[in-house]
Structure 1
Amino acid sequence: MNTMNSPLIRIGVFYDGNYFLKISDYYYFQHERKARISLEGLHEFICHQVAEDEDADVRLCQITEPHFFRGRLSATEAREKDRLFHDRLLDDILMNMSIQTHYMPLKTRDGRLQEKGVDVWLALEALELSMTKHLDVVVLIAGDSDYVPLIKKLNTVGTRVMLLSWDFKYTDFKGENRVTRPSQLLLETVNYAVAMNEVIDNPVSKYEPLVDELFVNTPEPSAYPNVATPRPAYVPTAAGPEGSIGISTIKNLKNGYGFVVMPPNNLFFSYADMSEGQDFNELHEGDWVEFTVGRNHRNEDCARNVRKVDAPAETEEEDEEYDNEHEPESAETSQL
């Protein structure tokens, strides 16, 4: 229970950004919900969970300090990896939620991008704000044991700590097993531990509406808006010049990307290449799609503005050719 003179319970929410985005990707690409985590819905859930754990009125539980920490690619690297749009989209969402962002540059070591210093920065900000802004509860969205010293220090200044964590495993498109699991030491150190995967998959009745609101129910915006162009009715042919319109079938789909049948080489596309209003998760192998021929950062052909369409109708000429090829044999020819 809040021991300060004010009945308001001040909540600080601190996101380990890469951890949160990995969770959101899991629910979008792997989980049956096929939707991303809603920050607005998550904050509403946090207020209700804090109210229950602190035995307080939910109206008096307010998030006053939301902060998002993440390692980030440089503008040049993000452009080369086709990430500029999605980084900006994330910024828009965080800005509209009044979540303060803290970015550190990702460093390349031994050919791999590495995130260094983000957890330390998060810990310093959480401790300082707890002391200067008198936070009653700090909510960590993280899973690393590196935050254990922070939790112990926050307790010494009278701030309780709630951990939102996820425990799940899945097989990626390479057939490799992936596991996301919070540190056991972290779970044992916090004041309130909330296993979000259990909350989502087995919600108690009173929390069912809150759980439904944890997910975004609208398709992701596309980096490449739809261009209205008449759809030609033809079967797959070789890819034309950049900007030309094609129609073909989906050869295969993986975790967030797929290939369109287009001789001589199949065309790569990802969820970011879907036309506006189209949902990648509604595609199936064998579906017909219309697309625009584009070029990726490696100057290779790819598919942009991908949208699902009806299969093209066969022409009379194609029907006649098919009938001739499959015409029943005569009595004479059948005896040869």
Structure 2
Amino acid sequence: MNQMNSPLIRIGVFYDGNYFLKISDYYYFQHERKARISLEGLHEYIRHQVAEEEDVDVRLSQITDSHFFRGRLSATEARDKDRLFHDRLLDDILMNLGITTHYMPLKTRDGRLQEKGIDVWLALEALELALHKSFDVIVLIAGDSDYVPLIKKLNTIGTRVMLLNWDFKYVDFKGENRVTRASQQLLEHATYPIGMHDVIDAGLAANEEIIENLFVNQPEPVAFPAPKPVRPTGPTAAGPVGTVGISTIKNLKNGFGFVVMPPNNLFFSYADMSEGDFNDLREGDWVEFTVGRNHRDEDCARNVRKVQPPQDGEEYEEEQEESASSSDRL
């Protein structure tokens, strides 16, 4: 029975953060949608779905608490891997939506960064808050079988569990097969298991507004300001760190690509875009970039932005000045 016989359905939302971010990356880089999952839109979907499952008016279906758990790089490691801006951007989104964040440091094991203890922390917090805040429904955004004991325990105290899960596969930029699939045990024990991959594809085909709102409808902010215009008449060679160059791109895949710069082409990722959307790039496009160094102390491309193919130097300069004036007007 609801607390004090209230008809309100109290919802607690718990995110396995790295699982959610992997899903968001899939829709941004792999899925035809080419957009990230909107947390605000996801919460609105949750309210409507819980209202439908619980047979109440959506106004009585309210998210009263939400928590985001994730292993995170140290500030130094995030800086070296060019993740500081995107980590802060995520924090801003979570903070503005009132989602409580819980971070643990990633640990290096066998040469790889690994997340340890987050699932246990999430489970303990979810159970404790379910008891103290009298959640009617806990929404779990996860896919790991490690959460099965949590769902079983929530079932014993009468808290229903809605499991939002995804099932998809793709080939990554290294040519390796990647598969994401929720544990069958999770699906069996959840009160309301929701296969979001089917929900999204069916909703997009039917052009349903609530599914459309699950996606961010504006370009991602960029980490770097646009570099000053240059006046090339063709590809410019990579020089010392900070050198601005121009060349074409190749081997675009899954958020990564290379700027053609023999003998060693320069690697870049979507995080290195200074303006524009990575998904708008095509192989053979001309881009302007700044030479940088990555965490392996190798040359790479930073501040990448799409430009027109090189022309006569004076014509290019005039075009850049006109573009800058247009930007000022915007």
Question: CA–CA distance in 1 between the matches of 2:204 and 2:217?
Answer: 21
C-alpha deviation, 1:26, in angstroms: 0.7
SS in 1 for 2:5: coil
Between 67-76 and 6-15, report the one with greater CA deviation: 67-76
SS in 1 for 2:261: coil
- Aligned partner of 2:199: which letter? V
How many pairs are equivalent?
Answer: 314
- Aligned partner of 1:307: which letter? R
- Aligned partner of 2:71: which letter? G
Distance 1:166 1:98, change over 3 A: same
- Aligned partner of 2:285: which letter? D
Identical-pair percentage: 79
In structure 1, the residue matched to 2:137 is 137
Contact 1:148 1:186 (C-alpha < 8 Å) held by counterparts = yes
In structure 1, the residue matched to 2:234 is 235
Q: CA RMSD in A?
A: 2.0
In structure 2, the residue matched to 1:261 is 260
Distance 1:207 1:117, change over 3 A: farther
Question: CA–CA distance in 2 between the matches of 1:86 and 1:127?
Answer: 30
In structure 1, the residue matched to 2:94 is 94
**In the alignment, does 2:70 pair up with 1:42?**
no
C-alpha deviation, 1:146, in angstroms: 1.5
Question: CA–CA distance in 2 between the matches of 1:294 and 1:107?
Answer: 27
C-alpha deviation, 1:267, in angstroms: 1.5
- Aligned partner of 1:7: which letter? P
**In the alignment, does 2:276 pair up with 1:305?**
no
Map 1:71-220; keep pairs closer than 5 Å. 71-203=71-203, 208-220=208-220
Between 42-51 and 266-275, report the one with greater CA deviation: 266-275
C-alpha deviation, 1:130, in angstroms: 0.8
Where do 5+ consecutive residues of structure 1 fail to align?
316-336
Where do 5+ consecutive residues of structure 2 fail to align?
314-330
In structure 2, the residue matched to 1:221 is 221
In structure 2, the residue matched to 1:13 is 13
- Aligned partner of 1:45: which letter? Y
C-alpha deviation, 1:300, in angstroms: 2.8
C-alpha deviation, 1:144, in angstroms: 1.2
In structure 1, the residue matched to 2:293 is 295
C-alpha deviation, 1:147, in angstroms: 1.3
**In the alignment, does 2:64 pair up with 1:64?**
yes
In structure 1, the residue matched to 2:321 is none
Map 1:321-332; keep pairs closer than 5 Å. none
C-alpha deviation, 1:200, in angstroms: 0.6
SS in 2 for 1:194: strand
C-alpha deviation, 1:204, in angstroms: 8.3
Contact 2:237 2:245 (C-alpha < 8 Å) held by counterparts = no
- Aligned partner of 1:233: which letter? P
Distance 1:3 1:230, change over 3 A: closer
Distance 1:206 1:27, change over 3 A: closer
